Amino acid sequence: MENCEFCKIRSKAVETLTQDEVQLLQENCAEVDLVADENIIKEGSLSSHIAYLKEGLAKIHKKGVKGTDQILKIVQPGSYIGIQTVLTSKVHQYSASAVENSKVCYIDITSFKQLLSTNAAFAKELVIYLCQDELSYFNRFVNVHQKQLDGRMADTLLFFADEINKSRIFTIPLKRYDLAALICSTRESVTRALKDLSDIGTIKVNGNSFEILNYELLKKISEKG
């Protein structure tokens, strides 16, 4: 495991720690390699660790009253997973799974709480992180419930192009039913939406590979919803 002090993707919160506190973190942290579809945390299980996504992508998902799995969001490296459970519950309220081969650091929850209690700057950075994350989720919640299907699909394509891959040629490591769970739709509707966007010359689709052919038009579809 890489020394936390020299980790290239450590969070702003960890950057506030003293050398002794970094050592405490190092001694109570374990790095784990996961393959696609492996659980990072599981809804309903006891929370003993905070997960920090170091490499790869993960989906945050939760089962509804009918037992259907709803994907709440996709998270990138540099994201904390399960942190909401630290002060509110002993049981995870949602699941997280790798959507591609990923590297995760698990931090012992007792040590994490100790750092929260003794380092105000560490706690402040985590509050900022949680606030930004929640505001981002508010925007996604409104968009996914008020936009038409093509607008939601355009949002997702732009997210993977601009924020994750930073390229107009990219792959989405999600099966069609996962895409449907992400945009609150059905697998058949996702297939139809991708065909619609392809037919008007906005994108080119080949399985999980995508190319944005008309970025401005896709952006307009996203904005108008």
| CATH code, 208 | 1.10.10.10
Q: Is the pTM of this model over 0.85?
A: yes
Higher per-residue pLDDT: 225 or 198: 198
Q: What is the pLDDT of residue 90?
A: 86
* 27 lies in the same domain as 115: yes
- Helix (H) or strand (E) segment spanning residue 18: none
The dihedral formed by the CA atoms of 61, 66, 67 and 68, expressed in degrees to the nearest 10:
-50
* 156 lies in the same domain as 131: no
Query: Tens digits of per-residue pLDDT, 167-184?
Result: 999 999 999 999 999 999
Q: Among the ranges 6-10, 22-26, 96-100, which has the highest mean pLDDT value?
A: 96-100
* 75 lies in the same domain as 163: no
Higher per-residue pLDDT: 10 or 127: 127
Q: What is the pLDDT of residue 119?
A: 95
Alpha carbons within 13 A on the beta-carbon side of 120? 0
Q: What is the pLDDT of residue 5?
A: 72
CATH of the domain at 37: 2.60.120.10
Between the two ends of the chain, the Cα-to-Cα distance in Å is 45
User: Edge to edge, what strands does the sheet with 169-171 contain?
Assistant: 169-171, 209-212, 203-206
* Last residue of one domain, picked from the residues 121, 141, 161: 141
* 93 lies in the same domain as 180: no
Q: What is the pLDDT of residue 225?
A: 72
Domain extent, residue 59, equals: 4-141
Q: What is the pLDDT of residue 9?
A: 83
Query: To the nearest whole number, what is the mean pLDDT of the chain?
Result: 92
* 104 pLDDT above the threshold of 90: yes
* 151 lies in the same domain as 218: yes
- DSSP line for 123-151: HHHHHHHHHHHHHHHHHHHHHHHHS-HHH
* 208 pLDDT above the threshold of 70: yes
Report the alpha-carbon distance of residue 32 to residue 8 in Å, rounded. Answer: 17
Q: What is the pLDDT of residue 2?
A: 63
* 13 lies in the same domain as 65: yes
* 14 lies in the same domain as 39: yes
Angle at 10 between CA 109 and CA 81, to 5 degrees: 45
* 124 lies in the same domain as 177: no
**Least confidently predicted of 45-54, 60-69, 187-196:** 60-69
- DSSP line for 198-216: HHTTSEEEETTEEEES-HH
- Average pLDDT, integer, range 64-84: 90
β-strand partners of 69: 63
* 152 lies in the same domain as 187: yes
Report the alpha-carbon distance of residue 189 to residue 150 in Å, rounded. Answer: 10
Residues in contact with 176: Cβ distance below 8 Å, sequence separation at least 6, in sequence order: 187, 190, 191
Pairing of strands 169-171, 79-81: unpaired
* 208 lies in the same domain as 182: yes
Residues in contact with 59: Cβ distance below 8 Å, sequence separation at least 6, in sequence order: 71, 73, 74, 75, 96, 97, 99, 174, 178, 182
Query: Tens digits of per-residue pLDDT, 111-166?
Result: 999 999 999 999 999 999 999 999 988 988 888 888 999 999 999 999 999 999 99
Alpha carbons within 13 A on the beta-carbon side of 147? 24
Q: What is the pLDDT of residue 101?
A: 96
- pLDDT confidence band for 65 (50 / 70 / 90): confident
Six-digit token string for 211: 């190319």
Q: What is the pLDDT of residue 85?
A: 81
Nearest to 123 by CA among 134, 114, 135: 114
* 104 lies in the same domain as 125: yes
Q: What is the pLDDT of residue 1?
A: 59
* 206 lies in the same domain as 162: yes
